[in-house]
Amino acid sequence: MITIDEEDLQEFGQWPFSDKLLAQLLNKVKAQEPRVIGLNLFRNLPVETGKSELEEIYRTTPNLIGAKRTVGIEIAPPKILEESGQVGFSDVIADPDGTIRRALVSINIQGTDLAENSLSTQLALTFLEKDGILPEEVQKSRWWSLFDKRKYFRLGKSVFAQLSRNDGGYVRVDHGGFQLLLNYRIDPYNFDMISMRNFMEGNIPPRLVRDVNQPILKDRLVLIGVVSDSSGARLYTPFSKNKSEDNKGSTMPGVFVHAHATSQLVRAAKDGRPLLRVWPQEAEWFWLFGWAIAGAGIRWYLLNIETLNRRVLTQNACLGGVLAAGAIALVGFGYSSFLIGFWVPMVSAYAAFFLAAMVMGSYHNHELQKLATLDGLTQIANRRYFEEYLYKIWWKCEREKRPISLIMCDIDHFKLYNDHYGHQLGDRCLQQVVASIQQTLRTSDLMARYGGEEFVIILPKTDKGGACHVANRICQTVAELQLKHDKSPTSPHITVSCGVSSVEAHSQLSPVELIASADKALYVAKAEGRNRTSFRPYQNLPPLV
C-alpha cells in the first residue's frame, strides 16, 4: 500500500495532487513492475498541469485499475480507463449502526443482466489472472435451487456464496448485488505500507525488500489511497471502539477496507483462507429454539427444587449464576466458531435463553397465583379471592357512587344428588352448573365458589332490578340443562335457588353486611320452595351480645 497521509499533503503542499504529480507517482510505481495497481482516488476532472502525461499513463498501463462512485452522487472514472474496462466502483455498504461488515463484490447494471465489479474485486481478479485463476459460476441442481436462491461462484480454492437477507445476525437486510461477509485480518493494519513521499524519494524500508535483485513491487498488488484525517473517507469497522462523531481515531481509512476485501478474495482463492460463513436459516432456528428450551428448562428445574423455593434470595442468586454461565458459554462458543470462519448468532440466542427463563418464571408465578385464587374443581374464583375482590370493587363503586349487587346461589338438594349418583357425577354436575351460570354473566361480573354447592356472584354497577333479572335468568338457565335429579323433592332435574341483595356503596356501610343480606335472601328462597329468587335489601348486622 502506498498511503497519502497528512505529512504527504504538507510535503507536496496541495490537495488534490496535480495530474503531473500523480503521473510521476504512477510512472514510478509502474517501473517497479507490479502485477496490478489500484488507484483509490477519484480523477474524473483534470487538476492543474500534466493532463497529457497522466492520460498517457492510463493508455499504457493495462494493469492499472481506477475507481468510481455509483451510489448517490455518481463520480465517473477516467474515461480512458473506463473504455478499457479497468475500473471498479469504490462504494461500500454499511450496516444500520454505520459499521462496515459486508463487502460488495459486484452490483447489477440497471436494465441489463450484466454486473460490474467493485474496486477490490477488480484488483483481485486482475491479480489472480496471471496465476490462471478465473471466476467460475457454480451450477446448482434443480432440486437445490428450489430451496436456495443465492448465487455462488468458485475462485481458485474457495466457493463464494452470496449473502442473503437473513444470514447470520441480519434480519431483512438490503442484500442487493453480490455481497460477502467481510473477514478482516486480525491486525487491521497488517499490510506492507510506505508513504508517498518516502516512495517518491526512494526511502524504502528494509522490511519491504524481498529480493535485492528485483524491484520491491515486483509482481505485487499495489493499492494507492488516502489515509489522512483531513482528506478521504474514514469508516467504522468492527475494530472501532468508540463511534462518536469526533473520534476519528476509531475509524479506518476507506482504502484499508478495500485492502481487506481484496486480501480476502486473493487469500481465499490462493490459500483457501476460511471465509466467514453462516448456518442455513433452518439451523439458526434450531439454534435459537435450543437456547430457549435450555433457558426454560433450567428455570423450571430451579423453581422445582424444594429447598430453593423457601429461600428467594438463594434462588435469585442461582438464576443469576445460570444466566451468567449461559452468557460465558455462548460468547466462548461464538468466538471459537468465528476463529474457524463461522458467524453464529449470539445476541439473539442469549435473548432467547434469557427471555425463556423469565417467561418460565412468570408462568410459574401465574400458576401459583391460580392455585391461590381459583377453585380447583370449577376453575372459578375461590372464597379468599372473592373477599379480596369484593372490597376492591366496593371501593370503586363508592368512588363512583354506583350501586353494587350480590347473588348467593345454592344447588337444591345437592347432598341427595351426591349420595345417589356418587361424587364423580356430583363434581361433573357442579362444573356444568358453573359453566351455564357464567354464560349469563358479564365480563365485569365475578363468580366464586363460596361453599360446597354454594356460589356467590358480584355484580358491579348493578341495581336491584338488574340483579333480580340476572338471578331469574340463572335459575332458568340451570333448569334448561335438564340434569336428572331423581331424589329432588323440588324438581326431577337440577335447580338452583338465588338470594339477591343490592346497595349503593358507601364508606359507612360494609361489604360483610351485603353478604349477610344476600345469604338471608337465599334462606328465604329455600323456605319458599326452592328453584326461585328472593330479594332482601341491605341490612346492618345486629350487634354481638
DSSP string, 346-401: -HHHHHHHHHHHHHHHHHHHHHHHHHHHB-TTT-SB-HHHHHHHHHHHHHHHHHHT
Cα distance between residue 542 and residue 534, in whole Å: 21
Look at residue 247 and tell me whether its pLDDT is greater than 60.
no
Pairing of strands 252-253, 136-137: unpaired
Percent of the chain with pLDDT over 70: 94
SS3 label, residue 297: helix
Look at residue 113 and tell me whether its pLDDT is greater than 80.
no
Provide the strand spans (E) within 300-345: 342-343
Instruction: From 495, 472, 474, 498, select the one nearest 485 (Cα to Cα).
Output: 495
Average pLDDT along the chain: 88
The domain made up of 383-535 is a member of CATH 3.30.70.270: yes
| Contact between residue 224 and residue 32 where contact means Cβ atoms under 8 Å apart | no
pLDDT in tens, 123-182: 999 999 999 999 988 876 666 555 666 788 899 998 888 888 777 777 787 778 888 988
pLDDT in tens, 289-306: 999 999 999 888 888 776
| Contact between residue 236 and residue 61 where contact means Cβ atoms under 8 Å apart | no
pLDDT in tens, 3-53: 999 999 888 888 889 999 999 999 999 999 999 999 999 998 888 899 999
Question: Bridge-partner residues for 503, per DSSP?
Answer: 404
Model confidence band, residue 527 (pLDDT cutoffs 50, 70, 90)? very high
Rg (CA), the chain: 41
| Contact between residue 90 and residue 58 where contact means Cβ atoms under 8 Å apart | no
Look at residue 542 and tell me whether its pLDDT is greater than 60.
no
DSSP assignment of 413-424 equals THHHHHHHH-HH
Look at residue 543 and tell me whether its pLDDT is greater than 60.
no
Which residue ranges make up each domain of the chain? 2-277, 279-368, 383-535
pLDDT in tens, 315-330: 778 888 888 998 999 9
Check 388, 453, 454, 528 and give the catalytic one: 453
453 is catalytic: yes
pLDDT in tens, 504-524: 988 888 899 999 999 999 999
SS3 label, residue 331: helix
Cα of 332 vs its chain's centroid, Å: 21
| Contact between residue 19 and residue 49 where contact means Cβ atoms under 8 Å apart | yes
Which amino acid appears at position 39 of this protein? L
